[in-house]
Homo-oligomer: A and B are copies of this chain.
Amino acid sequence: VTDTTLLAFDWGTTSARVYRLGHDGSVLDRRSAPLGVLHVRDGDFAAALRTLAGDWIDIDAPRIASGMIGSRQGWLEAPYVPCPAALDTLAGGIVRTPGGELMIVPGVTCRDAAGIPDVMRGEESELAGAVEAADGRVLAVLPGTHSKWARIEGGRLVDFATYMTGEIYGALIGHTILGRLASPPQASDAPPGTGFVRGLERGMGAGGLMHDLFGARTLALAGELAPTDVGDWLSGLLIGREIRSARTAAQRAGHDASQVLLIGADALVARYAQAFAHFDIVARRAAADAAARGLWRIARRAGIVRR
C-alpha cells in the first residue's frame, strides 16, 4: 500500500465508500459500508472512519471526502460555495476536521432567476471527475433520489437544478392511492416493463403533473394498465416529465439539450438511458468511479496530493 497517494471518501446519507488511489489517480482498490451519515452512532465519525477504512487507516496518505459528511448533520459543516464553481472554488472551500482525520470538500449552491436557492453535496465531486475543462459545454445528469442537472462550461459548474423525482416516486407509490392498484414493487434492478414507455410518453406531454399522475389510477381502474405495470408507468411519467422540464430550462439558458452526459451506474441510470434513447437525446455515459476521480482532481488542485 506504499503506492497510495490519496484515500478518497464518497460519504453519503445512507452509505459510504472509500477508494485507495495510486500515483496517476487510478483506483487501486475500494471498500464500502452502510455507514452513511444517518447511521453513524452518537456522532462518533472518527470511529466510523476507522471502521470504513479498516487497515487502510494506517496508510500514510491524505484523506479527503465529499457528500453529506460535510453537511450540518455530518462530521463538520463545509459551507456551500457559490456557482460558478471551478476546481479552484471547490479546493478553496475544503475544511479539515479538528483532529485532522479528514479533509472535506464543500457542497455547491446556486440561485435561479426567481432567487430560489438550490444545493448539491457530493455531486460536485462526481462532476469534477466526469467532466474536464477541454469538454467545453456539457449538460450533465445525475439520476437519483434527488436528480441533478448541471450545466458546465470549460470545467466550471455554471448552474444546476434538483428534481425530486426518485423521492416523489417513493412517496406516491407508498403513500397515495396510486400505489393501491399496483402489484408489490418489483426488485429495484428489474428492467422496466412496457408501462415504462407508455409513462414516458405521457411524461413528455404538456399536461399538468398533478393531473397526469392520476392516470396511474384511472388506467388501472379501467383495466388498461396491468397492476404489474403501474409502478413502471409512474416511473416513466416522472422521468419523462423531469427530462422535459430540464431540457426546456437548459434551452432557455441557451444550452444545447440534444446531448447529455449521464453519470452513475445503477439500475436507475439504465432507466434514464432508455428514456433518453426513446426521445432521441444522445446520452454519453461517464466512466465509472467519477467521485473518486473528482476527489483526486480537487485534492491535487488544493495541493493535498503532489505528483
Residues on A facing B (Cβ under 8 Å): 112, 114, 116-119, 146, 161-165, 167-168, 170-172, 174-178, 202, 205, 207-215, 218-219, 221-222, 224, 238, 241-242, 244-246, 248-249
22 A-B pairs with CB atoms under 8 Å apart are A112-B207, A114-B202, A116-B212, A116-B215, A116-B219, A117-B222, A118-B214, A161-B211, A163-B210, A163-B211, A163-B214, A164-B213, A164-B214, A168-B172, A168-B210, A170-B176, A208-B241, A208-B248, A208-B249, A209-B209, A209-B245, A211-B246
Smallest Cβ-Cβ distance to A115: which chain B residue: B224
Residues in B whose Cβ lies below 8 Å from that of A224? 117
Shortest CB distance A27–B (Å) = 31
Is the pair A210, B118 in contact by a Cβ cutoff of 8 Å?
A: no
The verdict on A211 contacting B162 (CB below 8 Å), with A202-B114, A218-B118, A219-B117 known, is yes
Residues in B whose Cβ lies below 8 Å from that of A248? 208
**Majority secondary structure of chain A interface residues (helix, strand, loop or mixed):** helix
Shortest CB distance A108–B (Å) = 12
* A-B contacts besides A208-B244, A208-B246, 14 pairs, CB < 8 Å: A112-B207, A114-B202, A116-B212, A116-B219, A117-B219, A118-B218, A119-B218, A164-B211, A164-B213, A167-B176, A167-B177, A171-B172, A211-B245, A211-B246
Is the pair B164, A210 in contact by a Cβ cutoff of 8 Å?
A: yes
**A175 vs B145: C-alpha distance in the bound complex, in angstroms?**
13
